[in-house]
Amino acid sequence: MIERAIENWLTNTNERNYQVAFCQVLLKKGHKVIYVSSHRPMEQGKDIVTIDSNGGYCAYQLKTGKIDLKEWRKISGQVRELIELPIVHPSVDKTKVHKSFLVTNGEIIDEVRIQIDQINEDNQRKGRGYSYLEIINGQTLLKEFIDAQGKFIPQELKDFDLFLKLFLADGTDFLPKDKYFSFFNNTVFKDTPGQKSDAINAISGSIIITTYLLNPYQIRKNYYALFEAWTSLAACIVRYAQRTGLRKEDWIDSFNLAVSEIVRNLLLLKDETLKRKDFLEGDSLGDGWLVYRARATIVFGALATLELYRHKTDKEYIQDNRLLELIKSNINMLWLWGESALPHFFGLIKYLELCGEYEVARSLLNALFLGVISSNAPRVSVSLANPYYSVNAVLEAVLEAMLGIDIEKIDFSQFSGSSYTLEAIISMIARRNEKELLKKNWRQLSHIAFKEFKPDKVEDTFAWLTREGSNHVELPKATQSWAELVKEANDLNGVPDLYLQYSDLLRFFILVCPHRTNKLVIRALDTNH
């Protein structure tokens, strides 16, 4: 049944959407992937470049559907570049001839195969030194995907049912993250295997399965949901690798594939955003006001975090003034719907500082701080919901209250007198030497209890749900030494090494799982540039 679902996906998807799964197949065969076309025009006919297990260079061009003579004539120029032009990459010796592969999820008709054979024979006979062109068709791809997935498919009825629900989702909404994490934890990453090879195979299989599951979101071009999914998978991989004690070199290539998809989908979201005149979706009568503001906050927070990542990881990064101006012109549209919004505000503050917009960043941080201490003061009837409540849950509750509907709405008064994010915000203010702001408001905030869930195992920070941990509640000191506060805010000694090692992922992860944000996570991200 699942094999049929996979076949249906492969037949109907495009080359961009099966690219990452094909990369994972190559990794499993012992290749080292050194280049994957991502958000750029195809370079010299090469979508993927690898070094195989024998040290040979391989270049792949990916296509969609049946390649008949008409299609062959369209792509023949790209194919010539694939086989005739050397690979241009720092890891490649351009004097060595590479192997070339034309890959499609459809079929290649016999007339085209004959032409390919003639091209190969002619090049070889005339000693041109061009690479030999091989073909990989849809049936071969399907078999390799199923083989690479291995045994990591749902075995129990409830897990199979969850697979189908995810596979057949509408694709227009947020990712159902609880179901997504549950599926992987109950199937692929369920056990700690006795053999290292099984653990490695579980990680490689997770890449293949994720590609299938995300088909509804790929069809809808729901880039934010795709970003959420690949971020969640990358987090699952890190957690599983820590639990099983795998060496980093055993799984890092698969992890990097997931990260490349995080970045690719955010880049696509950025392109879409910069082309839009507004953030409306569908009928404006049902999509304005708080829905509009929530969408703007989510998108800007995610794109700001993307720019922070690119600045840190790309030596050739150039600040995009189009995005900066768009954010600045819409700064008043941001909405602090609840404490789950903190990661988005944090990303925006850091991005504004990166761009030298210190006053705008300062104003945003101050507004965030004052919003939390005023909304979550003791005995306030409508407080900010804690980070376990999503923006959707808050929006539904607000709209129900407006319409006079009393159906499981959130009791916002339960959050008064406590905060999961205030301690992290205070540390951000201390790191920026805003002494007067804290001094002026310390008495008020000292009545708000700091709340935090502390996982027993540090790797469980990367989980959606864990029962191995404890809840902590602590009141701020009635009087606080400024020097002590600043010292603690800048002290990385208490920050787990795992946070620092995977800080790039952590920036994205807290957007997806805001309830995993705490003072140490923010400290790691705020001080680790």
253-273: per-residue pLDDT in tens?
999 999 999 999 999 999 999
Mean per-residue pLDDT over the chain, rounded? 93
Alpha carbons 114 and 133: distance in angstroms, whole number: 12
pLDDT band at 404 (very low <50, low <70, confident <90, very high): confident
Name 12's Cβ contacts closer than 8 Å, sequence gap at least 6: 215
Alpha carbons 386 and 389: distance in angstroms, whole number: 6
Tell me what pLDDT residue 40 has.
Answer: 54
Tell me what pLDDT residue 42 has.
Answer: 45
Share of the chain above pLDDT 90, in %: 82
Tell me what pLDDT residue 411 has.
Answer: 92
Mean of pLDDT values over 474-502: 96
91: left (phi over 0), alpha (psi -120 to 50) or beta: alpha
Tell me what pLDDT residue 284 has.
Answer: 57
Mean of pLDDT values over 492-510: 96
The answer to whether 239 touches 207, Cβ cutoff 8 Å, is: no
Tell me what pLDDT residue 405 has.
Answer: 75
Alpha carbons 411 and 380: distance in angstroms, whole number: 12
Whether the predicted pLDDT of 146 surpasses 90: no
Mean of pLDDT values over 482-496: 95
Tokens of 214: 């995300």
Whether the predicted pLDDT of 6 surpasses 90: no
Tokens of 350: 């850091």
pLDDT digits (tens, 9 = 90+) for 279-328: 777 655 567 789 999 999 999 999 999 999 999 999 999 999 999 999 99
Q: Name which residue leads in pLDDT, 522 or 124.
A: 522
Whether the predicted pLDDT of 21 surpasses 60: yes
Alpha carbons 226 and 344: distance in angstroms, whole number: 17
pLDDT digits (tens, 9 = 90+) for 128-141: 889 999 999 999 99
Name 253's Cβ contacts closer than 8 Å, sequence gap at least 6: 27, 32, 33
Q: Where exactly are the structural domains of the chain?
A: 2-147, 157-253, 276-527
Number of DSSP helices (H) and strands (E) in the chain, helices first: 22, 8
Mean of pLDDT values over 41-54: 85
The answer to whether 523 touches 427, Cβ cutoff 8 Å, is: yes
Whether the predicted pLDDT of 356 surpasses 60: yes
Tell me what pLDDT residue 240 has.
Answer: 97
Whether the predicted pLDDT of 426 surpasses 60: yes
Mean of pLDDT values over 407-436: 94
Tell me what pLDDT residue 150 has.
Answer: 67
Strand 133-136 relative to strand 469-474, pairing: unpaired
Mean of pLDDT values over 395-401: 88
Tokens of 329: 């012109």
pLDDT digits (tens, 9 = 90+) for 79-109: 999 999 999 899 899 889 999 999 999 999 9
**Distances, alpha carbon 374 to alpha carbons 340, 379, 462, in Å:** 17, 11, 31
Q: Domain 2-147 belongs to what topology?
A: Trna Endonuclease; Chain: A, domain 1 (3.40.1350)
